[in-house]
Amino acid sequence: MSSMSKNHFSRLRPELAAMSAYQVPDASGLVKLDAMENPYQWSAEINALWLQYLSHATLNRYPDPDPEGLKHQLQACFGPQHEDIALLLGNGSDELIQLLVLAIAKPGAAVLTVTPSFSMYQLVAEMLGVDCHCVPLDDQFELDQAAMLAAIEEHDPALIFLAYPNNPTANLWSRKDLEQILTASQGLVVIDEAYGPFASASMVNQIHEYPNMLLLRTASKLGLAGLRFGWLAAAHELIAELNKIRLPYNINCLTQMTMQFALQNYPVFAQQAEKICQSRELLARGLSALATLTVFPSQANFLLIRLQSHSAEHVYTQLLAQKVLIKNVSKQTGLANCLRVTVGTDEENQALGSQNSSQSTKLTPKADL
């Protein structure tokens, strides 16, 4: 490296040298069960109508900077329909997570979350130079409420992230615990309901009761992962402040129009989510029949599995050799020997080794499960 190049690199933040870029495995030619995507595409009829809808896009113009019509559609489908609550739209929920951390990033500020959980909370905090404190879940992946309240008291976090259901553990926590955290915190509390379409509970109706609560959702798990679209619901005054640091035109016109079209056809996604929940239960029963592993209860579109007689790395590698890609989460805190499996189509789920009979679901292990 030349001296000039070294000088250029010296202008970068020194902590970047210790960071790693977010890694996404190549899934070409594989049964993809690693990223919690909806496995179902639109029908040919819906797809044709969508393309016709997009034909009216005006790509020579900037997109609507603040599409109120789309916001009203989102609130009509998902709530909250409350006069004191507003929405902020993002290029995926990741952009909104980054924007939230950016909003509180000042000397002495801290972010609080749990571990294991969605890695982006801690990653974004580290990127922006904000301290992130992670409270371990208990051995049943429940909130350690005493530890959470103690961490709030000790660190006075400006921002708390709680995934509900949690990723990668797939469970819902006690609403009483969440409300206690909302009451105890002097900062903002983000309830991330990315997996809301597959869960039996939501905090959407509580948002107007807590001025420090923000509800984060995404279109990705619903069936539009390629669109990169998320939204944040919170009190009008809070959304107005966050909107000051949102980059203009952050949602392109094709994304806006596709979301409008998708919400007009929302029953299609609701039916797909119902099918995924049914497949989740079928897959969980089949895997639970094996004495060699434990399947944890799920309120999401994936299952967390702990292996008893084989290493997670061994099974992950075997499945990969058979062209099946899942997620090895065994190196995360509290997840020793665990794998995460996305619920796919019936055919994709059978790639894990399940075979349906007329009487029951029998799972024939293909990868030494």
Backbone angles phi, psi at 131, to 5 degrees: -60, 135
Edge-to-edge order in the sheet of strand 85-90: 85-90, 230-235, 213-218, 188-192, 159-163, 110-115, 131-136
| 220 token code pair | 């990705």
pLDDT, one tens digit per residue, over 107-118 is 999 999 999 999
Residue 363's pLDDT is 34
The CATH number given to whatever domain includes residue 155 is: 3.40.640.10
pTM: 0.92
Question: Is the domain of 176 the same as that of 283?
Answer: no
Question: Is the domain of 158 the same as that of 304?
Answer: no
Question: Is the domain of 330 the same as that of 187?
Answer: no
Inter-residue contact 95 to 247 (CB < 8 Å) = no
Residue 285 forms part of a structural domain: yes
Inter-residue contact 8 to 323 (CB < 8 Å) = no
Answer yes or no: is pLDDT of 194 > 90.
Answer: yes
d(CA 366, CA 351): 8
The CATH number given to whatever domain includes residue 335 is: 3.90.1150.10
Answer yes or no: is pLDDT of 354 > 60.
Answer: no
Boundary-marking domain end, from 214, 246, 265:
265
Residue 369 forms part of a structural domain: no
Mean pLDDT of the chain: 92
Whole domain around residue 350: which residue ranges? 3-43+267-363
pLDDT, one tens digit per residue, over 132-157 is 999 999 999 999 999 999 999 999 99
Question: Which positions ≥6 away from 4 have C-beta within 8 Å?
Answer: none
Question: Is the domain of 83 the same as that of 203?
Answer: yes
| 82 token code pair | 């409350």
Boundary-marking domain end, from 243, 265, 287:
265
Q: Per mean pLDDT, which range of 43-52, 69-78, 287-296 is the poorest?
A: 287-296
pLDDT, one tens digit per residue, over 26-48 is 899 999 999 999 999 999 999 99
Overall number of domains in the chain:
2
> pLDDT tier at 359 (50, 70, 90 boundaries)?
very low
Rounded average pLDDT over 364-369? 51
Question: Is the domain of 109 the same as that of 77?
Answer: yes
Answer yes or no: is pLDDT of 173 > 80.
Answer: yes
Residue 309's pLDDT is 83
Residue 130's pLDDT is 96
Boundary-marking domain end, from 211, 233, 265:
265
Residue 76 forms part of a structural domain: yes
329 SS3 class: coil
